[in-house]
Homo-oligomer: A and B are copies of this chain.
Amino acid sequence: MKIELNRDFIDQLKELIEQKADQDIIQIISELHAADIAEIMEELDSDEAQYLFLLLDGELASDVLLEIPEADQRRFLRGLPPDVIAHRFIEFMESDDAADVMADLDEDVQDEVLQHIDDKEQAGDIADLLEYDEDTAGGIMAKELVAVNENWTVQTCLKEISIQAEDIDEIYYVYVVDDNFFLKGVLSLKMLIMKPTHTVIKSMVTEDAHFVRTDASQEEVAQVMEKYDLVALPVVDQIGRLKGRITIDDVLDIIREEADKDYQMASGISGDVEAGDNVFQRAWTRIPWLFIGMIGGIIGAGVLGSHSSQLQQIPAMAFFIPLIAAMAGNVGVQSSSIIVQSIASGTRSFDSVGRKLVKELSVAFSTALLFSVLIFMYNFFFTGNMRLTYSVSITLFIVMVFASLFGTLIPLVLNKLKIDPAVATGPFITTTNDILGLLIYMTVAQMFFKIL
């Protein structure tokens, strides 16, 4: 029954596209879910993908458009006239998806597309949504929702729902409003089905419905929905009037996106890496951190250069440079990522910075002690040079404690300054700690050269 999506299928499809066997292609493709078609398109080269895409009709075409990477969306739409964009794609979409797609178009194209939308209510909804900042609740929400008046009965409600729900893919909750559209509460469809039909809505509503304001950040939206296990969340304006609703699938995308961003930041990659990006764009996302790493390396060379007398006296000191640098980097990354994660997942900011530091430092002290004893024993038994043995193990202890301290403090400080603390993970911490480690190493060595 279901088509197996594998290499053979892709090859067969490529052949059909080359033969321009449109009917066969349509027959195969139309059985698939939009998300599957989007996945297939990523395996085709861009001309094949475009050819396939233009064979799709109405609803399916617009569904597929929403599933492909944004870079491809832009490329496909760029060549199309505004009326085609309106009639073939936008008119089939819910308002939030339509606004997302439109937001990527030039402003004059946006205006023309809006004028070509036949349903003026839909055009108005999209225009409203385009006003909001993309990263806020207003920018994520859809205007399509089922709202019922608090004075209605269950029976009136159910009738009204079946009218309003025509345009909506899925209803999870029904929003209860007063005559001025102020949000009064939330009802699940289940509650409506289970109550006697003459019950007045007002009597069923509980007061503690969760909602966000249109200007709430997308992180806040995600945190509220995740914390309270909601599948949809109403959005209200400054004075509490119902403006839209956000569904869990959009929030899932945000959570995935944030996690990916933090992960990439920790790996020294800036900006989006989309499947369609070319070599130059891919390289570009990596160059900034590599450049910082190189500058760090050059500074490190400077530090070593200005302490070259120690290195000349005991050449074996140079052998342990990679060890000191690596341990500093690893400890720093560990500490910073713990803090960044706790900042990212924490909804509220209780002032426990002090406690966090104390916890981190006690971990740092114990691990630093362990590893400096280990390296002391190694050098004592295998190298036999006491100056080197002392220098390396004392350096390692100091470096590990400092690396941990910096790894903890920098994200906390950045967060206080309203800068995304995730920038202080990965290569940034590694680089600063490398330099720090070398400085400490050379300073400690200098001291021991004077004493011993």
Interface residues of A (CB under 8 A from B): 1, 5-7, 10, 33, 35, 39, 43, 158, 161-162, 165, 168, 170-172, 188-190, 193-194, 207-208, 226-229, 231, 248-249, 252, 255-256, 259-260, 262-264, 266-269, 273, 279-280, 282-283, 286-287, 289-291, 293-294, 296-298, 300-302, 304-305, 308, 311-312, 315-316, 318-327, 329-331, 333-334, 336-338, 341, 345, 347-348, 350-352, 359, 362-363, 366-367, 370-371, 374-375, 378, 425-427, 430-431, 434, 438
B contact residues around A194 at 8 Å (CB): 162, 165
Give the copy number: 2
Is B293's CB under 8 angstroms from A337's CB?
no
A172 to chain B minimum Cβ distance, whole angstroms, is: 6
Is A267's CB under 8 angstroms from B315's CB?
no
Bound-complex Cα distance A259 to B249 (A) = 17
Assess A227 versus B35: contact at CB under 8 Å? Given A256-B255, A316-B305: yes
Assess A188 versus B161: contact at CB under 8 Å? Given A266-B263, A430-B326: no
Contact sample, A vs B, 17 pairs, CB 8 Å cutoff: A43-B350, A161-B190, A170-B190, A231-B248, A259-B263, A263-B341, A267-B425, A269-B337, A283-B370, A290-B331, A296-B323, A297-B323, A298-B375, A298-B378, A301-B320, A308-B319, A325-B325
A344 to chain B minimum Cβ distance, whole angstroms, is: 9
Residue of B nearest to A275 (CB): B342
B contact residues around A370 at 8 Å (CB): 283, 287
Residue of B nearest to A425 (CB): B267
Bound-complex Cα distance A434 to B434 (A) = 13
Is B308's CB under 8 angstroms from A322's CB?
no
Assess A363 versus B330: contact at CB under 8 Å? Given A189-B190, A294-B375, A318-B318: no
Is B279's CB under 8 angstroms from A228's CB?
no
Is A334's CB under 8 angstroms from B193's CB?
no
Assess A363 versus B282: contact at CB under 8 Å? Given A194-B165, A304-B319, A319-B305: yes
Assess A329 versus B430: contact at CB under 8 Å? Given A165-B190, A255-B252, A256-B255: yes
Is A438's CB under 8 angstroms from B10's CB?
no
Is A363's CB under 8 angstroms from B286's CB?
yes
